[in-house]
Amino acid sequence: MFSTLFGCSSLQFADIFQGYSSQMQAVKTAQRQGDFIKAQTLLAERSKNDGSYVLNLLERGRLAFLAANWQASQNNFAQAYSELEEQRNKAKIQLSRGIEKLGASVSNDNAISYQVPYYEQSMLHSYQALNYLFQHDLTGALVEIRRANLVQENALKAYQGDIYNTKNSLYESGMNTDSLANTYPSMAGAIGQVKNGFQNAFTFYLSGILYEASGELNDAYIDYKRAIEIYPENTYLQQDILRLASKLGMTEDLEHFQRRFGKYQSKPAGSQGQVVFLIEKDIVNSKQDVSLNLPIGRSNNGVKFFSFSLPVYSENLPQHSSTIVKNSGQSYQSNEIVRLQSLAAKDLQEQLPALLTRQVVRVVAKEQMRQKLSREAGDVGNILASIYNIASERADTRSWSTLPDQVDILRMQVPAGKQVLQVQINTKQQDINLDVKPNKMTLIYYSAIGNYTGYQVINL
């Protein structure tokens, strides 16, 4: 069985025995310092046949985006999307996954190709849309945003069936999620109020502002409505919904939303323009490895306890202060539009039945291997197999680790012409000089990560 691992690269061995989260610590430290070039150099090079190749492309694309290297970021995300499409469309991938699962049955889930969660796929396309946008290609940006929306539509279709199938498979293996109740750390605080691990209001909001900028107001309105159902308390979304419902003559919708959010007060546009902030904050937490002793089997057939390693997110969510933007005596406060940490924790919670099912297969296979070596090589074989089983029992802590923890939005109407906005976040204050176009939108993408703050501005 050890031979199934010999074809692994040194990095794949590191994934199996060390874990992805620990490998990413230096990268995230450099990212928090705002040294995105150094962070990229600290990322290990991975070949196409490496199980974490796609994840590596996502990390590289994100860091290149932060470094304002739009073309490099675009290339990395395009390659990641191509790999995902290949996984979806080629039947031969099923054979290779079967081989991977054989290796995973005697090691851990790090031997399986990384399966990009839906929320990470939607962020891939969101960043790719921004890459196109910052290269003044609104058409390309809209293509990517449609792909992002399609990801969420596909996720919604697959959601209930996937959860039922994985829970059923887990039960048939002799275990259920009740086994975790008193041993697995709670992620309730990290999950918060999110309903599932894929509905991303940020993607819908980005889609809405891009459609609005291109004059496709009906499409913009649809995506603002999708976003408001996820984040109904966001006051900027409320105003966008009321504004477009009024502008498009959606009388019934307007009455409905005014009952929910209050009467719409239209503002004369005149020689004014819209300024929209997308504000990303800090970095999402990495998964951690937790060891548990859990029973396998059913009471009538005998129950035996085995040692497991599972990934978990810390329950504690860091609190981020709102961003304050001031202009001409007016003050505006940002509102949260997505908590990616919550989506990540909810996605992991939804994946637990599948993770446990693979764990049952794995610990049984490892125990059989230990017994076989014990019979064939005596105490030496038993000791070697036991050492290997302990060393290789590592949770799969892979995730897109350079994503922001949270994204806020802020929208304001300001006079056209030269403007200075005072941005205050945490204890830092920064001035942003703008040339606002009348009846047009100016997009500001603002990052606040550790000690770093930076922004990009584009007139739409």
> Per residue in 364-402, pLDDT tens?
555 555 555 556 555 554 444 444 444 456 788 999 999
The pLDDT-based confidence of 151 (bands split at 50, 70, 90) is: very high
The pLDDT-based confidence of 19 (bands split at 50, 70, 90) is: confident
Yes or no: say if 281 and 407 are a contact pair by the CB < 8 Å rule.
yes
Amino acid identity for residue 125 in this structure: H
* Higher-scoring residue by pLDDT: 57, 9: 57
> Which pLDDT tens digit goes with each residue over 196-231?
888 999 999 999 999 999 999 999 999 999 999 999
How far out from the chain centre does Cα 382 lie? 42
Token code pair at residue 384: 């070697």
| Of residues 264, 283, 285, 277, the one with CA closest to residue 326 | 277
- Sort strands 428-436 and 417-425 into parallel, antiparallel or unpaired: antiparallel
**Cβ-based burial of 20 (10 A; exposed 0-12, middle 13-18, buried ≥19):** buried
Yes or no: say if 47 and 53 are a contact pair by the CB < 8 Å rule.
yes
Q: Is 249 strand, coil or helix? A: coil
pLDDT of residue 242: 96
Q: What is the pTM of this model?
A: 0.85
Tell whether the model's pLDDT for residue 442 goes beyond 70.
yes
CATH class name, domain 2-459: mainly alpha
Token code pair at residue 270: 């005149």
pLDDT of residue 103: 44
**Cβ-based burial of 34 (10 A; exposed 0-12, middle 13-18, buried ≥19):** middle
Separation CA 175–CA 324 (nearest Å): 50
DSSP state of 322: P
pLDDT of residue 371: 55
| Residue ranges of domains in the chain | 2-459
Amino acid identity for residue 317 in this structure: L
Reduced 3-state DSSP string for 273-295 = EEEEEEEEECCCCCCEEEEEEEE
Token code pair at residue 326: 């001031």
Mean pLDDT of 424-439: 91
Token code pair at residue 290: 């937790």
